[in-house]
Amino acid sequence: MNRRLLFLIVFLLPIFVLGQELQDAIRKFKSFKTLHYIDHVKFTDIFSQEIHMDTINGYFDYSSKDSLVQVKMPRYEVWRDSEKLISIQVPYKTYAIKEPSYLSPTIWNSLPNLMIKLEKELKKAKEVKLERDSVIDGISYKSYLITVFDSLDQEKRVLKQLKILLDKSSSLPVFIRMKSEGFLDESDLHVTYSEEHDIKKISFDQQNFPDLKRLQVPSDFTLEVKKDRKPLLKKGVAVPTLRFMDHSGKSLDIKDMKGKLILLNVSWVGCPHCMLSIEMLNNLNERYTSGQMRIVSIYPLDKREDVKKMNERFGVKYASYPNSSETSTDLEAYHISAYPVFYLIDKQGAIIKGFAGYSSGIGKEIEELIEKNL
């Protein structure tokens, strides 16, 4: 046997053997007729790095051709059968009916789908490592670390890893952690993300499983009414009042900023496309240093400290203004229904054009309009 072949066998055999052990556990998991579990989820926001926690209570019935699903969270609940998906907003006592194929994040992030994701990642894994056994409350668990990829790009780490703990006696998952680092949507924006699932009270094929066919929306809940999206303000419309504060606490109004070209940016720290627009805004801020143009960036949904952290983390060079008590109310006149929104405002205080969302094409059009209207 030549040395190269021997090396490949020695290198790939652990991946194959350990991967096979995990595949067996996944296969067993997929054979269940009914499943119930409680999942304590902890994840880190990609942009603010704020840690969020939630509890998922999942019921899955695969005993017949049409699978039935109920996933409950303290503030949100989703049911699905072969004909519909019902999402319930508990704090607002409202519900919505959607197609069963609707991509619900709550179901997408449920334990059965996590196992499907694990199965897919195993096929692409660069390395599967069996770590030292974990012992929790006297019970032993096998600990696997799966590295899908781990490299450098632009001197920054690009990584995808999963860690999973399996009960040694039942082969059931009790802990899953996903960690990733990389560039957002092929941009230069480097982000990190981590998500942990601490899974408790797994039961399967139980005799007294709840009848999910009998689920009913509470009688005091009402059908969610969709709000009509109003179009963005048109060219020539006088800019409405928009009050906000500078960092010294002084109240400002965009109506009083006549004499300069204004690019209004209404943004949100948790929005991927908002973050992708940072590079464009930084470039514009640097290009027009003579005061010909002013960027006004407002974050109506975020705390001042969260905006500050984001600015530091992603190197924001333009001014971001905190909200005043009137900001959200005033923004209603700007017809903001999603984020980000940009309005280019002329030196007389009239709208040149509004843009919903962000893409390289929108960025180019904004730059061309700025040059045209200086």
pLDDT tens string 283-331: 999 998 777 889 999 999 888 888 888 888 889 999 888 888 899 899 9
Task: Give the residues across from 151 on adjacent strands.
Answer: 158
The reported pLDDT for the residue numbered 335 is 94
The reported pLDDT for the residue numbered 4 is 47
> Taken in order 227, 231, 236, 241, is the CA torsion positive or negative?
positive
The reported pLDDT for the residue numbered 3 is 47
Long-range own/partner contacts, residues 311-320 (CB < 8 A, 24 or more apart): 313/47, 313/49, 314/47, 314/189, 314/275, 314/278, 315/278, 315/282, 316/278, 316/281, 316/282, 317/282, 317/285, 317/286, 318/281, 318/282, 318/284, 318/285, 319/295
> Could you tell me which residues come within 8 angstroms of residue 224 by beta carbon, excluding any fewer than 6 positions away?
89, 94, 95, 96
> Taken in order 335, 341, 347, 352, is the CA torsion positive or negative?
negative
The reported pLDDT for the residue numbered 19 is 67
The reported pLDDT for the residue numbered 18 is 64
State pTM to two decimals. Answer: 0.83
Q: Per-residue DSSP letters for 145-182?
A: EEEEEEEEETTEEEEEEEEEEEETTT--EEEEEEEEEE
Q: How far apart are CA 282 and CA 332, in angstroms?
A: 27
The reported pLDDT for the residue numbered 158 is 95
The residue ranges of the chain whose pLDDT is under 70 are 1-19
The reported pLDDT for the residue numbered 318 is 93
Cβ–Cβ < 8 Å for 106, 76:
yes
pLDDT tens string 245-263: 887 888 889 988 888 899 9
Q: Per-residue DSSP letters for 273-328?
A: HHHHTHHHHHHHHHHTTTTTEEEEEE-TTS-HHHHHHHHHHHT--S-EE-B-TTHH
